[in-house]
């Protein structure tokens, strides 16, 4: 038996104007043809009407039926772009306007309100679709100050996380009402970008039961963070898993910060799954050890390889790495079958005071 589900693929990086990447039905058929059994669906109007999905059970039943025709299940919905807009430092206002409808550009307050509502709708839509988890970003208020030079004033980080918690707690409460976990992708550019910031956020939202983690080891490679130890520390909060690879090859010229180089020329860069340095045998083993029951989802991003080649290679990669958890101990064949009296004898307790 196995607790983990898969293989699945995140559709965001493939969505486009031409078939088979233009509609949910076409993408489901394409994914099934590559051997996937699940798709993670970005909350993009080309793929899902989020308002309808939040309000109409028949709409959600129809969506699942359309996917089922191809042997595909929805794994999670994703509001990465909307979640980013829940908290935006003014330095990034112009750059992040593209994540929102055109009528909200240049209107950060209205844009944030829209984003909050979008994530809440996604919680309700996830429940109607029968999903257990949702994938998103936290957004960031303190990211421009991630490196402490100039010296950060006392209290800046604490206030940033207090405000992040004020914005996310009402959203997390909606996820609680919906019975769905809200999994934040630990990711540079977000205030939640490593284990230390995850702990800050979790404390700030009073250990909210729906605050969970989307585990993506590629971002830990680029930070030189121990992703296996991360699983040991936070496995009880991991609800989503992106199977995404990366490599880190520092030189005397460039390291973690990248020197403003293009992706192909950075010391740390994303690679198609199986082409990088991530120890997926170790990761799948750790997740099996801790009983992870969610999906294994390919997220293709690579500085070198064609996306369709990466997608084609992803399904068998996951299938070969998912561990069918054993139902018995490997040395059961050598069981002595002794009873309690014999055990006491073995311990030298025969005739000892009870």
Nearest to 231 by CA among 180, 239, 277: 239
**What is the percentage of the chain residues whose pLDDT exceeds 70?**
97
Name which residue leads in pLDDT, 324 or 214. 214
pLDDT surpassing 60 at residue 265: yes
pTM of the model: 0.94
pLDDT surpassing 60 at residue 354: no
What's residue 352's pLDDT? 58
What's residue 156's pLDDT? 98
Average pLDDT over residues 291-317: 98
Lowest-confidence region among 37-46, 235-244, 266-275, 332-341: 332-341
Residue 257: CA atoms inside 13 Å, Cβ hemisphere, count?
6
Asked if 38 and 295 count as a contact pair (C-beta separation under 8 A), the reply is: yes
What's residue 90's pLDDT? 97
Asked if 282 and 217 count as a contact pair (C-beta separation under 8 A), the reply is: no
pLDDT surpassing 80 at residue 326: no
The rounded distance, in Å, linking the Cα atoms of 72 and 38 is 5
For 69-124, what is each residue's pLDDT tens digit? 999 999 999 999 999 999 999 999 999 999 999 999 999 999 999 999 999 999 99
What's residue 231's pLDDT? 98
What's residue 320's pLDDT? 97
Average pLDDT over residues 236-265: 97
What's residue 218's pLDDT? 98
pLDDT surpassing 70 at residue 334: no
Average pLDDT over residues 211-234: 98
Domains of the chain by range and CATH? 5-346 (3.20.20.150)
**What is the percentage of the chain residues whose pLDDT exceeds 90?**
91
For 7-49, what is each residue's pLDDT tens digit? 999 999 999 999 999 999 999 999 999 999 999 999 999 999 9
Asked if 141 and 204 count as a contact pair (C-beta separation under 8 A), the reply is: no
pLDDT band at 335 (very low <50, low <70, confident <90, very high): confident
What's residue 18's pLDDT? 96
What's residue 333's pLDDT? 67
pLDDT band at 328 (very low <50, low <70, confident <90, very high): confident
Average pLDDT over residues 271-299: 98
How does the average pLDDT of the chain come out, rounded? 96
């Amino acid at each position: 038996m196995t607790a983990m589900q898969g293989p699945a693929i995140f559709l965001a990086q493939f969505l486009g104007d031409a078939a088979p990447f233009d509609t949910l039905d076409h993408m489901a058929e394409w994914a099934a043809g590559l051997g996937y059994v699940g798709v993670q669906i970005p909350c993009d109007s080309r793929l899902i009407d989020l308002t309808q999905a939040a309000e109409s059970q028949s709409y959600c039943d129809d969506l699942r039926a359309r996917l089922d025709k191809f042997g595909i299940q929805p794994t999670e919905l994703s509001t990465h772009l909307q979640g980013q807009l829940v908290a935006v430092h003014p330095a990034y206002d112009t750059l992040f306007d593209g994540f929102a409808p055109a009528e909200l550009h240049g209107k950060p307050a209205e844009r944030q309100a829209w984003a909050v509502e979008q994530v809440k709708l996604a919680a309700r839509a996830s429940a109607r679709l029968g999903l257990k988890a949702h994938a998103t970003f936290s957004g960031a208020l303190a990211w421009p100050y991630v490196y402490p030079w100039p010296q950060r004033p006392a209290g800046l980080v604490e206030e940033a996380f207090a405000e992040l918690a004020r914005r996310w707690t009402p959203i997390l409460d909606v996820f609680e009402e919906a019975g769905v976990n809200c999994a934040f992708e630990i990711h540079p550019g977000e205030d939640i970008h490593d284990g230390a910031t995850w702990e800050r956020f979790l404390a700030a939202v009073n250990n909210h039961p729906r605050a969970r983690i989307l585990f993506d080891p590629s971002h830990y490679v680029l930070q030189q963070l121990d992703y296996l130890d991360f699983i040991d520390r936070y496995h009880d909060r991991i609800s989503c898993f992106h199977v995404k690879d990366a490599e880190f090859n520092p030189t005397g010229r460039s390291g973690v910060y990248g020197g403003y180089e293009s992706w192909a020329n950075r010391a740390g860069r994303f690679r198609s799954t199986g082409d990088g340095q991530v120890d997926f045998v170790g990761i799948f083993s750790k997740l099996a050890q801790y009983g992870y029951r969610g999906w294994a989802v390919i997220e293709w991003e690579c500085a070198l390889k064609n996306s369709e080649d990466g997608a084609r290679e992803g399904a068998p990669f996951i299938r070969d790495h998912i561990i069918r958890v054993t139902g018995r101990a490997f040395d059961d064949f050598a069981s002595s079958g002794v009873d309690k009296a014999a055990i006491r004898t073995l311990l030298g307790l025969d005739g000892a005071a009870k």
